[in-house]
Amino acid sequence: MALDLSMPILVVDDYKTMVRIIRNLLKQLGFQDVDEASDGTEALAKMRQREYGLVISDWNMEPMTGYELLKQVRADEKLAHTPFIMVTAEAKSENVVAAKKAGVNNYIIKPFNAQTLKGKIEAVFAEQ
């Protein structure tokens, strides 16, 4: 599946500054349609109202973590096929393994730049 710069992307992070950074990086890459949610609960509600081409979610959030969000998304047949990239500050291998088992398409370790983000997004869409 080719990368569609017009596809809507949902950025999920409870840290507003991080949302702004990711939004700016996505804009640099040419993505215009970027929504945001501050935790997994809000993200799920938005995903049930609108079909997103990609979700980029932080791991550590309250009350619903990115990992819990990922599991809920994969368990919902309407949302299950949504490409999902997890962002984490910790490169702990057990987190990566857990996310892979739960069906994450890719993950990014903070801090990262536009090139890293671009590479991860392209890798996700090259798989499909």
Q: CB under 8 Å to 98, separation ≥6 — which residues?
A: 67
pLDDT at residue 13, rounded to an integer: 96
pLDDT at residue 65, rounded to an integer: 93
- Domains of the chain by start residue, with CATH: 9-127 (3.40.50.2300)
Specify the 3-state DSSP secondary structure of 58: strand
Q: In terms of DSSP H, where are the helices of 1-128?
A: 16-28, 40-49, 66-75, 93-102, 114-127
pLDDT at residue 32, rounded to an integer: 93
pLDDT at residue 2, rounded to an integer: 62
pLDDT at residue 57, rounded to an integer: 98
| End-to-end Cα separation, the chain, in angstroms | 6
What CA–CA distance (Å, rounded) separates 126 from 114?
A: 18
pLDDT at residue 105, rounded to an integer: 97
Sites in the chain below the pLDDT cut of 50: none
